[in-house]
Structure formats: structure tokens, C-alpha cells
Amino acid sequence: MDEPRVAAVVLAAGGGERIAGPTNKVLLPIGGRPMLTWSLELFERLRDVQTVVLVVPDRNRSAYESVVREAGLQKVKHIVPGGGSRHESEYLGLLAIVDAIAAASIDLVLVHDAARPFARPDRVEAVTQEAGRTGAAILAIPATERIVALGPGQAVEDIGAGLWVAQTPQAFRATLVLDAHRRADRDGFQGTDTSSVVERLGERVSVVADRPDNIKITTPDDLLRAELIAEQLGAHEDDVLLGALWPRT
């Protein structure tokens, strides 16, 4: 696929309960602009991305519309209400572009958590390219600590080595991810991320190495870390620092 036509579904409908801030967490400022703006501006800049679907909470829609307006974004073509879980929000986001997918005017879909403001263009392009080749790909980083499962009686159960932490964006052939979601809906399956919805069909999902600073803002501590990352990115817009820390692959 030379130049795929890509839609990005940006999930921003969560309540941010673990941060318990004064507003939805994706509206909180990082580096002087709303967390959500970082992702929307990233997709605005990526050549292959033609359409952005922004999934927002039922309440507070106007605050999200203001963010889009103030950032002067052209690619946000749909602002749709989300559901009670990330999974449902994702399905509702996909349904906003169902006609374009059926008409084959979108080849690939990127699904991204607005709670990850620091996804980097080169990594997003890499995961998009991989999905164009294979059908499904996610960004992930190698786990840097041992991860164990809890067995009966809180006993440690080994889950092996070579574990990776899944991140977003995750990229899929558009027809594949829509079909996977329709089947999940039929079967009452709720995925923790988009990949899990596709994996259950027996589809292979490739992993593309991400940078470790593409963190998800989940707790108040993460907000502090995010300010530091924003500062570093601002001071090194040419990517020299992060490129050296995490060589392009």
C-alpha cells in the first residue's frame, strides 16, 4: 500500500476518575495546552491521516469543541459521544466512519488514547506502515521489570519473560477492525484495547517498538512526569535527545 488513507479514532470520553481532577483529564493542561490537543495536533500533521474521529463524553461536549476550535484543526470531521467503557467508545468511534469504510475510502484505522499525549510521528508512521503490510499492528515497549500474575491465595504465578507493554496508537486494516468490533458486539465481548478485539478472531497482530515516553496519563503522578516530558520535547524539537535515547527502528 503506497499511500494509505487513514482515519484516526481518538478516545477522549473517559471520566479520568483516578486523577479526579476538576474536569475530564484529557482537558487538563500539559506544557500549557490541553492534553487532548497534543494528539489532535499530531494527527493533523501526519500526511496519510485524512479524518479524525474524536470520541467525547456525553456531558461537556462544548468544552471539547472549544479545544478543537482553538487549535484550528481541520481534520476532526466527527465529534461523537462515547460509551460507558473504552471498548464501547471505540466501537462508537468506528461507527462514525462505517460508510467511508464500506465505500473503501478509508484503508486503515488508527485507534489512540487521548490520555497518551506524547505519541511521536515516526512511531505512528511505523505502526501505520506495518498495519498496511500485515493488517494489524500495535506500538509497545519491552517490560522493564518482571511482571507476575497472582494465582490462588495471592501466590506468584510466573508468566514468563519477553513481555511487552501495549500502547497506542494501534493500527488496523479498516474492514478488519470494524468486523472484529461487530463480532465482539454480537458475542458480548469487551476488550481492554483494540488489539484484543482483533486477536480473538485469531488474527496476527504485529508489535512495533515504541518510545518509552509515550506514557498514559493515569494518576496524578503521571501529570508531573508529563510536564517534564513536555519540557524535554519543547527543548529538543529536532528530536535529538529522544532519538539518542531510543534509536529509530
CB within 8 Å of 142: residues ≥ 6 apart? 163, 164, 165, 209
Q: How far is the CB of 220 from ligand CTP (least distance, A)?
A: 11
Q: How far is the CB of 47 from ligand CTP (least distance, A)?
A: 24
Selection from ligand CTP, Mg ion, none that 12 binds (CB < 5 to 8 A by kind) is ligand CTP
Look at the alpha carbons of 240, 246, 247, 248 in this order and tell me if their dihedral is positive or negative: negative
Burial of 195 from C-beta contacts in 10 A (0-12 / 13-18 / 19+): buried
One of 8, 11, 139, 184 touching ligand CTP (CB under 6 A):
11
Q: Does 210 bind ligand CTP (CB under 6 A)?
A: no
Question: Contact region for Mg ion (CB under 5 A) — 8-16, 126-134, 164-172, 239-247?
Answer: 8-16
Residue at 153: amino acid letter: G
Distances (CA, A) of 30 to 61, 66, 67, 195: 20, 17, 13, 28
Selection from ligand CTP, Mg ion, none that 218 binds (CB < 5 to 8 A by kind) is ligand CTP
Largest interatomic CA distance in the chain: 54
One of 218, 221, 240, 245 touching ligand CTP (CB under 6 A):
218
Selection from ligand CTP, Mg ion, none that 139 binds (CB < 5 to 8 A by kind) is none
Which residues, numbered 53-92, are part of the site for ligand CTP (CB under 6 A)? 55, 82-86, 89
> Hey, how many other C-beta atoms are within 10 angstroms of the C-beta on 87?
21
> Hey, how many other C-beta atoms are within 10 angstroms of the C-beta on 224?
9
Which residues, numbered 190-229, are part of the site for Mg ion (CB under 5 A)? none
Contact between 45 and 59 (Cβ < 8 Å): no
Which residues, numbered 89-118, are part of the site for ligand CTP (CB under 6 A)? 89, 113-115
Selection from Mg ion, ligand CTP, none that 55 binds (CB < 5 to 8 A by kind) is ligand CTP
Give residues in contact with Mg ion (CB under 5 A): 14
